[in-house]
Amino acid sequence: MKLPEDYIESMRQLLGEEELQNYLDCFDASRTYGLRVNTGKISVETFLKRTPFHLTPVPWVENGFYYDPEEGVTKHPDYYAGLYYIQEPSAMVPASRLPIEEGDRVLDLCAAPGGKSTELAARLRGTGLLVSNDISRSRAQGLLKNLELFGAGNILVTSETPESLLGNFEGFFDKILVDAPCSGEGMFRKDKDMVKSWMEHGPEYYAPIQQEILRTAVKMLRPGGLLLYSTCTFSPLENEENLKKLLEAEQELEIIPLSMGEWFREGLIPGTLRIWPQDIRGEGHFTALLRKKGQAPEHTQKDRRRTTVLPEGLSEFASLFQRPVLSQGRLDVRKENIYLLPEDFPEVKGLRFLRTGLSVGELKKKRFEPSQALAMYLKKGDFRQELDLSSGDERLIRYLKGETLEVSEEEADFSGWTLVLNDGYPLGFGKLNRGTLKNKYCTGWRLL
């Protein structure tokens, strides 16, 4: 790979002559491929017992694994059941180093395509609130799909500038992750197009943008809250220099040292973390954890009216639940669309949002149609009418392609809405009538 001379010189200044050569040599090595288990749906132990793939642990995260790109990991029904996410191994570090506790209010400020948000959602385990934002609406749509695939319901997905979010969320969040847009030096080996992008917009372009994002993010953090800053660049201007400016401007911030383990190096500021591709099987990253000094009061829930009478059509469908799914939050009925919001869902005004809470489904002329998101949110046993297809059943792939299925009476002695599962994990809905399952799997999600 041909690297710009000025880039090589900047790396020489950072690494020294001998280490520079080690870094340049690593470009001859093949890139690595990783997947991260969705622990919100399945334990790592259970996943390893069922997966057909040959996996090797990523040593710095408990639920990360290297996989062989020759194996069809994105064509397997477990992928469509949201049991894992495809993610570059070193990119698993930031979300894993932000301490998440159940009930936290969490913001992923630059969230698309969703690798970090899906991990944060899994660790919240259906509690608290996750606000996932990306300024690009098209990228935010992909982010939303990944969160729904993972079964996340306690979400607010927005497409806004940080400044617009601040108007609604000043001092609101317990934890914030800022994986900022950057010059991308750490991804040169993975994506050769990043070199061209760096030549067009280098560190001098991104550093002021990152600084503005950080300054705004701090204002949305509660006293005692934690902010994790990460980039996939090696540039000190975008990493340590940005931190120095932030710490000088925001005196209430302090660095919380991160563990290097045996894989990472300390950054130019003590306690920060640098990931070098010549050291590990992965690409380059920078990560730092900050705390806002002080102690925030306990969260208080506002007394909100909830919908007690289900709309006509939904009440019949709700009778098919084995547990009170729709009482785990408050229902928000907006024309034909129905959402389930977390109890402490904030009042939001003037924001462009793609999703508030869990999309339950639509009312169409008093008939209710459940959403794909609801199917992914449910667990085996939640629904009275389930069709659980075992691994190896050729109907699994046919279902994912949107085809109609034949079902015997021994498999399903009922009719109507049916939750289709992949060996115990939901894939989507169908409608069963006299042994024929009409496929209701989301068109845009289908296996091609």
Would you please indicate which residues are annotated as catalytic (active-site) residues? 232
Q: At what angle do helices 203-219 and 240-249 cross, to 10 degrees?
A: 40
Torsion of CA 231, 139, 104, 247, to 10 degrees: 30
Pairing of strands 129-133, 155-158: parallel
- Residue 333 identity (one-letter amino acid): V
d(CA 44, CA 38): 8
User: 86: how many CB neighbours lie within 10 A of its CB?
Assistant: 14
In sequence order, what DSSP letters do the residues of 51-89 get, joined into one string?
Answer: --S--EE-TTSTTEEE--TTS-TTTSHHHHTTSEEE--G
**Three-class secondary structure of residue 354 per DSSP:** strand
d(CA 418, CA 378): 12
Which residues lie closer than 8 Å to 404 by C-beta, 6 or more apart? 436, 437, 438, 439
Residue reference for tokens 């993975």: 190
Pairing of strands 221-231, 285-292: antiparallel
Closest CA to 242 of 284, 276, 204: 204
For the chain, the straight-line distance linking the first and the last C-alpha, in angstroms and rounded, comes to 34
